[in-house]
Structure 1
Amino acid sequence: MTAPRSVRLLLIAEAANPEWVSVPLVGWSMARALAARHQAHIVTQLRNREAFLRAGLIEGQEFTAIDTEAIDGRVWRMAKALRLGEKGAWQALTALSSLTYRYFERQVWRRFGPQIEAGAFDIVHRITPLTPTAVSTLAPRCRQAGVGFVLGPLNGGAPWPKGFAGAQRREREFLMPLRQAYKLQPGYRAMLAASDLILCGSRDTQGDIPAAYQGKTRLMAENGIDLARFPEPPPRVPSQVLRACFVGRLVPYKGCDMVLEAALPYLATGQMVLDIAGTGPEEQRLRDYVAAQGLGAAVRFHGWVDHRKVREIFAGADLFTFPSIREFGGGVVLEAMACRCVPVVADHAGPSELVDAAVGYKLPVSGGRAGLIEALRAQIGAVLADRARLTQQAETGYRRVLEQYTWQAKAETITRLYAEALPRLF
């Protein structure tokens, strides 16, 4: 089959930064991969300008930075106050930061509206924000101008599983009962109606799209792997002692405390060691638990580490123990697989859609916190009893990343979806 031709793209990536992680890194990586495949111009927020310049992009030619700091600063201060410091309430932060996005798009239209109306672009693709709560006013304007509009990847909306009320309280997620209220925002349905293609990063998000627009949705994980950041790791060689790791922010929903409780008998008897990379409000509580249980020789805390150190930790581990119960994307799971490290994840939300029996293990969440800990303990025991299987899973996971999850592969997938949604352009 002939590959679709190149088209002219205006890529809206309000959050896009090669020097950061999470959503900004997704925005940067996807925009750059698409720009390498097509004739593209990236629009981002002013806070990312210096990082774009350091990466060698030419301002005005390859990207434009939009200044919305006057509005953003006030809203971020309000969001920080509602979060009560740095201890949770991510939904409150997302809800408030979504308010600034309308202003950002208004500035984008002032700058690029005349070019869009003149047909300078074939497709306007809003990559970030990833949250479906941020309404795009560009979509109906593009539809009126006869220019294709692509939304996404959108992600979010995964419910808290039952039986984890303690973690939810510690995260201060007090807006959960109002989660669906974002659909009542002015312009929400107009955005969906005017979109030609809606990329959804998870089944939860896809299922949240109203039925009238389901035909426009396509499922595509938003995360990918940059092979420059993750060069080929050495082949997996089973060790006598099971080497496990946890990589992520030390916050309640990511479940590092559950890893420690589940692994306690194996850590205490020397059958397993655990590396913990990350920092956060739970760190001292976790350190106290390790000290109280006398696990200092088996558990090592690394604190915050950069990507190079993360690669080393994954490459030195047999198992990535990550029972996060509210993970939308799960890019860290792909990073583990890219390092031939076998993931163990909760069978809920984003990570569960990246893992199957060929590459790792999924743990049921139906039994609540106690059930998940028991399932993880049993899975570690099963791995210890059959170490040879890890080698095959590690290799299969690595090959899958190369075939499906590099940013180049994802740019080709998105291009095919462009062609399906907008055949007149191809």
Structure 2
Amino acid sequence: MKILISAYSCEPGMGSEPGVGWNVAREVAKYHEVWVLTRPDESKDIIETELERNPVPNLHFVYFTLPFWQDSRKWGHSGGMQLHYYLWQIQAYFVARRLHQQISFDLTHHVTFVKYSSPSFLSLLPIPFVWGPVGGGESAPKAFWQDFSLKAKIYEIARSLVRWLGEQDPFVHITAKKSVLVRATTKDTADRLYQMGISNLKIIPESGLSTEDIGKLSQYQILNDVPVRFISMGRLLHWKGFHLGIRAFAEANLPNTEYWVVGGGVEGDRLQALVQELGIAQKVKFWGKLPREKTLELLKKSHILVHPSLHDSGGWVCMEAMAAGRPVICLDLGGPAVQVTAETGFKIPADEPAQAVADLALAMIQLAKDPQLRLSMGQAGRQRVKENFSWQVIGENWNTVYHQVVK
């Protein structure tokens, strides 16, 4: 079939949004003739270099951006880029309409941004439209706001307001109505889409891992030595919940254990002050922001991933940890709650901070004291990633979906 993919963010060798755009397009091109709408400013040179090195004959890229605003990163990565994204979606419709007249696509698929509260005007084309997976419907439970700084609270309020405004946009509702099929990344997003009247909906993670990454991570030995190392990896932001993991580690008060925190961000100083306040500075190490390869080397030397994020649509790090045979301790929220099962880790209810910290601590104690449980969870995690979260499997699933939609 001839498939048109909208991937505002698309770049090989990346995680998060750019990785979703690139990997979905590349995998789908194994089965169909694929045209990808994307921007030139961030990724054209990288994409073209990758295609020269590893050609994908069925994969074609159509680059364009706003004539009056060519650099999408201008005026900020947050508000400025979101405005650029919205206007680019309008432009994408006219580019796609001209292409459709020439090529006659069988189906169009919006892939990135992975955002339910902005429209995709490609839904207006007279062919089946697939939306997603889209996310962004997740919120930090209000009880957890008590730990946030004033700036963090303003961020959460602004985020909720922008999302609410998006839900009032008639074009978002038109996108929902025109979608033959919708995929959501989390239960929270699915609930918001149901309120828009969507029924043909399924929850699937946005993220995946390459066959190469899964193969490399599967070679990591499942450790059975001491000290038992807990590790948290990611940007040090309030909603990542690392303060909850640190408090739980202090409450668990386990001998022969360490806690490694890998990443940089605005919460770094607050987290280090918390470690001093709790009297566990000698057992907690902050590694700062590191390249991915060095971060994975630290994962290799660790036993258990702690990822208490309060509103993650994705959670790539949980997939990487499971592929590496590491049990995952997360909150029963967002993307990690979709990825992690009772066989691969602990999903902690997020009713309020003291309860969550106490339950996180109990999970830490159980895993630290039971090497056999770490082994069984690690093996189950590897199997789950291999069967569900490789980009190859995701591509096969999209191929099946496309045939069902067109049929």
TM-score by length of 1: 0.86
SS of equivalent to 1:234: coil
Question: Is contact 1:266-1:272 (8 Å) kept?
Answer: no
- Could you tell me which residue of structure 2 aligns to residue 88 of structure 1? none
- Could you tell me which residue of structure 2 aligns to residue 66 of structure 1? 64
Question: Is contact 2:4-2:108 (8 Å) kept?
Answer: yes
Question: Is contact 1:11-1:41 (8 Å) kept?
Answer: yes
- Could you tell me which residue of structure 2 aligns to residue 253 of structure 1? 239
- Could you tell me which residue of structure 1 aligns to residue 220 of structure 2? 234
Structure 1 residues 59 and 396, CA gap change in structure 2 (3 angstroms): closer
Question: In 1, Cα distance between the equivalents of 2:115 and 2:305?
Answer: 27
- How far is 1:54 from its partner? 2.5
- Could you tell me which residue of structure 2 aligns to residue 84 of structure 1? none
Matches within 5 A, 1:7-406: 7-46=1-40, 47-56=42-51, 62-68=60-66, 70-71=68-69, 77=75, 93=78, 97-140=81-124, 142-143=125-126, 147-168=127-148, 169-171=150-152, 172-175=155-158, 176=160, 179-210=163-194, 213-230=197-214, 231=216, 232-264=218-250, 270-291=255-276, 293=278, 295-366=280-351, 368-406=352-390
* Unmatched segments (≥5 aa) in structure 2: none
The one-letter code sitting in structure 1 at the alignment partner of 2:284 is V
Question: In 2, Cα distance between the equivalents of 1:178 and 1:41?
Answer: 31
SS of equivalent to 1:320: strand
Question: In 2, Cα distance between the equivalents of 1:294 and 1:160?
Answer: 28
Structure 1 residues 26 and 292, CA gap change in structure 2 (3 angstroms): same
Question: In 2, Cα distance between the equivalents of 1:212 and 1:21?
Answer: 30
Structure 1 residues 305 and 420, CA gap change in structure 2 (3 angstroms): same
Question: Is contact 2:235-2:264 (8 Å) kept?
Answer: yes
SS of equivalent to 2:211: coil
TM-score by length of 2: 0.89
- How far is 1:215 from its partner? 2.7
Report how many residues are paired.
397
Encode CA deviations 1:75-104: one digit per residue, 9 max, x unaligned: 852x56xxxxxxxxxxxx36x644323432
Question: Is contact 1:233-1:340 (8 Å) kept?
Answer: no
- How far is 1:284 from its partner? 1.7
Question: In 1, Cα distance between the equivalents of 2:70 and 2:360?
Answer: 42
SS of equivalent to 1:37: coil
SS of equivalent to 1:204: helix
Encode CA deviations 1:298-320: one digit per residue, 9 max, x unaligned: 22222112222232222222110
- How far is 1:234 from its partner? 2.8
Question: In 2, Cα distance between the equivalents of 1:355 and 1:389?
Answer: 15
Structure 1 residues 194 and 177, CA gap change in structure 2 (3 angstroms): closer
Question: In 1, Cα distance between the equivalents of 2:71 and 2:99?
Answer: 29
